[in-house]
Amino acid sequence: LSRRVPEPAGEDEIAQLARTANATLDRLESAVGRQRQFASDASHELRTPIAGLRANLEDASMHPEDNDLPAVVEQALHDTDRLESIVTDLLLLARIGTGGTVAQEPIDLSALAAAELGRRTFQVKIEKELAHGVTVRGVRMQLVRLLGNLLDNAERYTDRVIAVETFPDHDHALLTVTDDGVGIAPPDRERVFERFTRLDSARSRGAGGTGLGLAIAREIAQAHGGTLRVEDDPRGARFVLRLPLAPPEA
Ligand code: ADP
């Protein structure tokens, strides 16, 4: 793959063609590299609960008298749950964007946020400011999932307040989720969207996080022609989703 085309000196068409070919090869090579890395990270993540499961069951089968069966079963179920959520998230990640003809419908982001906030119960205070005029075109299930991932994280990192806001901005609709927890330092603000990145591994794994939540959320935002970023906020972490407004109905 990495065999590059010789680039003749000069500016003629052949030289330009050779440069374009090499640039394409470079992009392809880095895409393949990312794919390999992903496969290797995914295997590693899956191996951890499998190893736990195996050790636990082996021990129980070799020393049945030393083991409390209900506790062994409970631990095995916990590991199985974890495997299941990783596999579910991996499949979801693989599907988003390649969905081809997923039906898009007009979705009012404020109504969607109100419904999701109403459906959940929170241990923390929720402040919401939901504006009119934030209708986008999208796949409802995916946008609910995106918001759900942001809310899950916010709840994990604060025990005080989560603020949810929607508002129009020129030809875009914005949805922000802000918590007043530990926040995310500027150098980590891109990294958190990478698959399996955890800034605080013990806390996040303990809480059942797969490390895929934000990767999925960003993938969904991009499949909708939008962006998802972390922005500065004096309170803590602030996630900003920006989606193109739906064109007015004809
Ligand atoms: P998970 O939460 O499953 O670990 P995510 O992709 O959702 O995976 O998040 C990746 C990492 O980003 C988290 O492990 C955490 O370190 C950091 N993070 C996400 N949301 C927040 C937040 N609201 N405040 C502080 N850190 C966060």
Q: Which residue has the tokens 């939540």?
A: 213
Closest CA to 143 of 151, 155, 131, 154: 151
Residue 131 bridge partners (DSSP): none
Largest CA distance in the chain: 80
230 touches ligand 1 (CB under 6 Å): no
Q: Which residue has the tokens 């303990």?
A: 206
Please give the distance of CA 136 from its chain centroid, rounded to a whole number. Answer: 20
Residue-wise pLDDT for 184-212, tens only, equals 999 999 999 998 888 876 555 556 678 89
Query: Rounded to two decimals, what is the model's pTM?
Result: 0.83
Please give the distance of CA 125 from its chain centroid, rounded to a whole number. Answer: 24
**What pLDDT is recorded for position 152?**
94
**Residue to probe by mutation, ligand 1, list 92, 176, 214, most atoms within 8 Å of CB:** 214
219 touches ligand 1 (CB under 6 Å): no
Q: Are 169 and 230 contacting, i.e. CB atoms less than 8 angstroms apart? A: no
Low-confidence ranges of the chain (pLDDT < 50): none
**Residue to probe by mutation, ligand 1, list 146, 198, 210, most atoms within 8 Å of CB:** 198
**Residue to probe by mutation, ligand 1, list 41, 153, 199, most atoms within 8 Å of CB:** 153
CB neighbours of residue 246 within 10 Å: 17
Residue nearest to atom 21 of ligand 1 (CA): 153
Ligand 1 centre distance from Cα of residue 210 (Å): 10
**What pLDDT is recorded for position 240?**
98
151 touches ligand 1 (CB under 6 Å): no
**What pLDDT is recorded for position 188?**
94
180 touches ligand 1 (CB under 6 Å): no
Q: Are 226 and 142 contacting, i.e. CB atoms less than 8 angstroms apart? A: no
3 state SS of 96: coil
Report how far residue 229's alpha carbon sits from residue 176's, in angstroms, rounded to the nearest whole number.
10
Residue nearest to atom 3 of ligand 1 (CA): 209
209 touches ligand 1 (CB under 6 Å): yes
